[in-house]
């Protein structure tokens, strides 16, 4: 693990699923659609690093095909299952002048719903948009989003680091470790799930259960 930077971070990025909320949104949508048995193992494999995001992203959505009603439902579920201390953590960082972002491989529409509740501006949310037709039916997803493929979080964080300078990312999955390649100090969070590769691969690992436990690292 590397040494903690001597100054406070100018920006902090949070993963969404199993970090700001207790849920994995795509798995919740799979349960709702009655196909959890097909989807949950793929999500677990991607978060544990045994499959790449590229290998599972389109496959899961092609099976679930979430429409507007399902996406709205998922956003409400995110809020209902918000991790303890999430609102406090975001608020304290913002009051200290830290730019707060959500950088997630989750679906943009429900992530935006949670972001609104947390007070994170929509233009500070990076996630994968679902395409809907005029009737709200599923039409695919933004295949050009870097967050739907391996290494995408590094690309997003690299852009934010160029804007802000010192930057950290808080998350629970193997994809969050990629943010280091984009210049981020990676804070692993185990308040929902502690994945062995994240425990060993983060710059620092915080168990929780409250997300506020990361403030001692982020604010010095």
| Residues labelled as active-site residues | 15, 17
What is the rounded CA–CA span in Å between residue 131 and residue 160? Answer: 25
Query: What is the DSSP secondary structure assignment for residue 24, as one 8-state letter?
Result: -
Q: Kindly state the tokens that stand for 12.
A: 């902090």
Residue from 184, 136, 186 nearest 160 by CA: 184
Q: Kindly state the tokens that stand for 179.
A: 């943010």
Q: Which residues contact 164 (CB under 8 A, 6 or more apart)?
A: 10, 11, 99
What is the rounded CA–CA span in Å between residue 116 and residue 148? Answer: 22
Beta bridge partners of 204: 187
Cα distances (angstroms) measured from residue 88 to each of 4, 52, 82, 100, 124: 22, 33, 11, 13, 18
β-pair type (185-189, 204-206): parallel
């Amino acid at each position: 693990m590397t040494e903690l930077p001597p100054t406070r971070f100018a920006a902090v990025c949070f993963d969404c699923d199993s970090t700001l909320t207790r849920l994995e949104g795509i798995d919740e949508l799979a349960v709702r659609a009655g196909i959890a048995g097909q989807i949950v193992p793929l999500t677990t494999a991607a978060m544990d690093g045994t499959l790449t995001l590229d290998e599972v992203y389109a496959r899961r959505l092609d099976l679930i095909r979430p429409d507007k009603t399902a996406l709205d439902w998922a956003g409400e579920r995110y809020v209902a299952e918000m991790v303890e201390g999430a609102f406090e953590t975001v608020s304290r960082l913002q009051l200290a002048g830290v730019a707060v972002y959500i950088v997630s491989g989750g679906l943009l529409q429900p992530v935006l719903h949670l972001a609104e509740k947390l007070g994170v501006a929509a233009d500070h949310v990076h996630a994968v948009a679902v395409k809907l037709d005029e009737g709200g039916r599923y039409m695919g997803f933004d295949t050009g989003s870097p967050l739907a493929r391996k290494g995408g979080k590094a690309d997003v964080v690299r852009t934010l680091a160029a804007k802000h300078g010192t930057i950290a990312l808080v998350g629970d999955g193997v994809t969050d470790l990629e943010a280091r390649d984009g210049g981020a100090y990676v804070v692993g969070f185990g308040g929902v799930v502690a994945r062995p590769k994240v425990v060993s691969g983060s710059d620092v690992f915080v168990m929780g259960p409250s997300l506020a436990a990361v403030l001692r690292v982020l604010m010095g």
